[in-house]
Structure 1
Amino acid sequence: MPIHWLSSRPSPSHIDASLYRHDGACVGGRDAWPVDLPQTRAGHFDRAGRGMTARWGDAVPRQVSIAGRLDNRPVRLSPMVDSLHFDAHAEAYDRGRPPYPPALWARLQDDGLLRADTRVIELGAGSGLATGPMLRAGASVTAVEPGRALADILRRRWPEANTQITGAEDVPLPSAAFDLAVAATAVHWFDLDVVLPKLHRALVPGGHFAVWRNAFGDPTAPVTPFRKRVAAITDRRRALPPPVPGEFDTAAWVERLTRTGHFAPSSVECFSWTIELRTDQIRDLFTTFSNWSSAEADEAAQAVDDLGGRVLEHYTTPLIILEREE
């Protein structure tokens, strides 16, 4: 199924350390809960850059988003397993993960962070979803991935990358060897007390750390029949405390990534997009999520079948750019 991009650029939203602009979908309270929701490669990205401005540290309303819903109800999650869960479903993971929006790559290039001579260290590279576009931009990439099956896919597809099969906490990195560090849909698995000082040493003075993830929901979008069915599945689970800030809680992630003093916030931007999912994609993709059982994935796929075999989803991609402190 071909990908159709409906927009390639967001409206500008650069910020400094005291002022940031973001899409309202990317802001949550400090007790927002993380949710792994479905994703797929084929689809449509729509307009981005619906902006709102807030002072750094402003209080924001508590937002809980699950299955396209934004409300104050507790979110029920299955226990999260370790990140190697994805390696057990490497082929499905590779088939299902959607590409990051072109506007994100345009932003990194326009800001001068991704150039033909950029030396990149990418942590939690998976099967190379972010690795490929960086290589195509002319960068040299050291890709770190703990899962052997995922790393094997990455090596086959992108042999020019220097792929290291190890964790972000364990990989040995030379000092001042990289211009840009990247964590794409991976930072929530890291021990940041270990990783942040390691990246600080590995980056050159003036280097940057770009953190983003595809957040599989949009609290500003209408609740679809499919999302209601997904919510019915997750509502049967036992409520658990949140292990990390939620995928929409961008302000809390910025605080978490800067509190050690190794990095300072440079900019925050959020890209909104829509994507169409088929029944087989839903089954494949839900199976790869660490907080979904195979039975639940089958139930979600059945929901798509019941709704005609295709559903349109609304997703967002928050991008946090941090600058290395001297």
Structure 2
Amino acid sequence: MNITEKKFDELHGNKITEYIIETDNMIFSFIDFGARVHKILTNKLDVESNIILSVNTAKDYINSGGYFGATVGRVAGRIDKGKFVLNDQSYQLECNDGNNHLHGGTNAIDKKIWSTEIIHRENAITLKFNINIYEADDHYPGDIQFEVHHTITNDNTWTIEYFAISSKDTLFNPTNHVYFNLNQDYTKKIDNHYLTLNHNEFAEINEQLIPTGKIKTSDNFNFKNKNSLSNGINNQDQDNKLVNGYDHPFILEKKKEKTFTLENELNNIKVEVVTDRECVVVYTSNMLDYTTQDKIQFVQYGGVTLETQMLPDAINHCNFGNIILKKDEKFYSKTIYKIIN
């Protein structure tokens, strides 16, 4: 294994660096802008073998509105009307998605350049990204010291570890917003992808994509026996019609390490995921429609996210689990993506 660095872009006069990690047969690249995964090439000799959605400039990462590959938070997903109560105090966050707060707001960590440390180990390379999140920047209580570790091992496993500590009681529910397209072609839709989960419940959402608090089951949302994403994309279910596909939190099995799989039989590529989080938000890029500065066209259903996290808007639903990070309490979470091809 080896790692190289090169300049990716500049933002407000500050250099953005790309870190390129090569295994025996694959390439994983990351950038310090948003502590984000930038590319995953399943064939290191083929620049067209990328299986995630990527763009080539910081401006396109910002303007696309897709959060491609970024670390998002401090709270992933939407918070209803940007409001919550913590320790008997009411908070009002920025409403950057209609009437609601999304992914930490417009000044969130996905739009910042993180500091980086490279750690070499036997058969593994870790990128240790660091950032401080300040109360004055995003209007959540408390300042947070936040680390995200991206580790690549020679068996083509990508592990994300999250570490955080806060100066006050706050909310914390980060994720990575990677989009997969196992067709290795942004213009080919992911309706030929198959998902396998070990549980069949999901959180109902309303017209504003906010969870209602109701946990449901439905045929189109049952992926216990490898089901096609085309079922939801073809809008056969009321919950799918609401968003023209999937944009839903799926509840994972009730065990410490939850597993699920995304695959495309045509290309014989599989992504096996293991996480300690309680849900995965599956989003089939229903609203994606963006052309980059270098004329790359991203189309509706051109990728699917697998965002491991706690349930969105959990602070406003007593049955959604706990996303409160106590003062001086250490936060840790881990998600593993193993690429098999």
* TM score, norm. by length of structure 1: 0.32
Give the structure with the larger helix fraction: 1
Whose strand fraction is larger, Structure 1's or Structure 2's?
A: 2
Higher relative contact order (CA 8 A, sep 6+): 1
